[in-house]
Structure 1
Amino acid sequence: MTAPQQLGFDAMPRRLFRATPTRLMSWLDCPRRYRFSYLERPTPPKGPPWAHNSVGAAVHTALAGWWRLPPDERTPNAAGDLLVRSWIDEGFRDAAQSLRWRDYTRGMVERYVAELDPLDEPVGVERTVALTTSTLALSGRVDRIDERVLDDGQGVELVVVDYKTGRRTLTTADARTSLALAIYAAAASRTLRRPCRRVELHHLPTGAVVAWDHTPESLARHLSRADSIGEEAAAAEEAYARGLSPSEQDELFPPRPGPQCQWCDFAAHCPEGRRAYPTRLPWDGLDSTVG
């Protein structure tokens, strides 16, 4: 018997794979993009920044800053000022388009916060939550975590709030099927030791809120799915660390062409994706009716 066997090392549990919802979904969407994003060093050069990502980042920064103001300073105008200070002037066609979108987005943020109660303090803003499963160490940062009174008035529960700024109209199915939101809810409950089953998508362009109330069973299904995705990604990473030939890399990290190829940062390095879906211009993700 070898020394490791005598010490029981062969029976030691496997090290948990550290992942975020974004990392898991990146593997599911396209293993090749996953390799470019997380494994290759130096990282292959990315394409130009996307204007719609600039809008989303500015909105998230402004809303997080608004909740950090003293309650008596949480006004719509203050949110607008924060948006202007947070503005990212990247990915737009020209300065004029950026300015139009800055003004439009300022109005969008001001209308949104006008419907909020500035005294209704969130439990968390840009809060990191975490949990472990049998195979994963999961963590993620939640836009906002609210505390709400239960419908029956008996106690309170946590609610995961995720801001959305894209042009696509959201549905309840988006909230129900989101792996990220389910992980956030389970992790918020574990981290803050309070029940959390409700997840909400707040679509700022329309002011719509779509929500889903998870059950213990539905959260368990999502976590089981996360485990499955994570096991695949972990096995691929271990093989990559041992060393792979270029052909073996393509076999283990194949491209997965789909609509997401239009917005891929690594499209220049993926001929299969470019053939299937030509890359968009950096500002094509914006609502064309705004300018």
Structure 2
Amino acid sequence: MEQLGFEFAVQPRKLTKVTPARLATFDDCPRRYRMAYVDRPPPARTGPWAHSTLGAVVHNALRALFELPPAKRTPARAAALVNEHWQDGGFADSRQAAVYRERAQSWVSEYVEHNDVSETPVGLERWVSAPVSPQPGRPASLIVEGRADRIDERGPELVIVDYKTGRRPPDEAEARASQALAIYAVAAERTLRRPCHRVELHHLPTGTIAAAEHTEAGLRRHLVRAEETAEDLRTATDSLAEGGDPEALFPARTSARCSWCDFRPSCMEGQQAAPPARSWELLAP
């Protein structure tokens, strides 16, 4: 597969910088985007969520593991790193937190036991960035960037690895459909100057690895969608700065997700759309 031919030219006008988190937030609910990234000071949020705490602990433990020399990347050390990075935020009580701490230790130790962790990644929580145009031959229209969990070097190519600790194991379709992984692949290729087409979701609770091999056309489709969202959020943000109505420019897009939205305390529409979730309800069973 030939190296991606994205155009990386710089335009005179200021390019919009977007991350997967910003794009996903705006697509999911423009009001949540405004509260998270535009309003200053930001509105009141909920407290911590246990599933987010758990995910952060596992990510931090695996990052610390790969920072060790290969000989020290043992299952026992991986489990110990979970304990070192453990936090209790969002869990129902200390008993539930202890149960999930033990589960997380088991997940990472089994991950190390059943996967080759001897190679040192070229990136751990690596920030990657690239000015791009989804259309061949055109000047760059936006800058895509973000922090990839892990970037492996396998032969002549790079591979994006993303850790998951949620309820459901991912599949190839989910890996291929992930805009975040596609953006990381494009930005990693630009930042590290190596071709990058393969993306993987590593689900710690089940040991599942869901992988997809992107084509140039597939990555361009993700960038087209990113460009469309970026244009919408830029228009809304600019109009707000010119005195536009924040409620009209950033409308609430209610759904079942309002139950666990971080900004639920500051959004009446969200409170009316769905009952509040308990802070531990999204934990993997």
Same fold per superposition (TM over 0.5): yes
Provide the residue aligned with 1:112 in structure 2: 111
What is the one-letter code of the residue matched to 1:16?
Answer: L
Do the aligned residues in 2 keep the contact of 1:135 with 1:231 (CA within 8 Å)? Answer: no
Aligned length, in residue pairs? 268
C-alpha distance in 2 between matches for 1:165 and 1:50? 13
Provide the residue aligned with 1:69 in structure 2: 68
Residues 3-62 of structure 1, C-alpha deviations (whole Å, 9 max, x = no match)? xxxxxxxxx832111221101111111000001000111111111110000000000000
Provide the residue aligned with 1:184 in structure 2: 184
Structure 1 segment 8-19 matched on structure 2, within 5 A: 13-19=12-18
Provide the residue aligned with 1:271 in structure 2: 268
| Secondary structure in 1 matching 2:32 | helix
Provide the residue aligned with 1:226 in structure 2: 226
TM-score (normalizing by structure 2) = 0.91
What is the one-letter code of the residue matched to 1:141?
Answer: R
Q: Does residue 132 of structure 1 match 2:154?
A: no
| Shift, 1:221, TM fit | 1.0
Root mean square deviation, CA, Å:
1.3
C-alpha distance in 1 between matches for 2:283 and 2:117? 30
C-alpha distance in 1 between matches for 2:176 and 2:257? 21
What is the one-letter code of the residue matched to 2:275?
Answer: P
What is the one-letter code of the residue matched to 1:38?
Answer: Y
C-alpha distance in 2 between matches for 1:287 and 1:161? 20
Q: Structure 2 unaligned runs (5+)?
A: 1-10, 133-139
Provide the residue aligned with 2:92 in structure 1: 93
C-alpha distance in 2 between matches for 1:62 and 1:249? 40
| Shift, 1:257, TM fit | 1.0
Structure 1 segment 1-291 matched on structure 2, within 5 A: 13-133=12-132, 134-149=140-155, 156-244=156-244, 248-288=245-285
TM-score (normalizing by structure 1) = 0.89
What is the one-letter code of the residue matched to 1:136?
Answer: L
Provide the residue aligned with 1:5 in structure 2: none
| Secondary structure in 2 matching 1:161 | strand
| Secondary structure in 2 matching 1:200 | strand
Do the aligned residues in 1 keep the contact of 2:45 with 2:266 (CA within 8 Å)? Answer: no
What is the one-letter code of the residue matched to 1:118?
Answer: V
What is the one-letter code of the residue matched to 1:96?
Answer: R
Do the aligned residues in 1 keep the contact of 2:127 with 2:147 (CA within 8 Å)? Answer: yes
Identity of aligned residues (%): 49
| Secondary structure in 1 matching 2:128 | strand
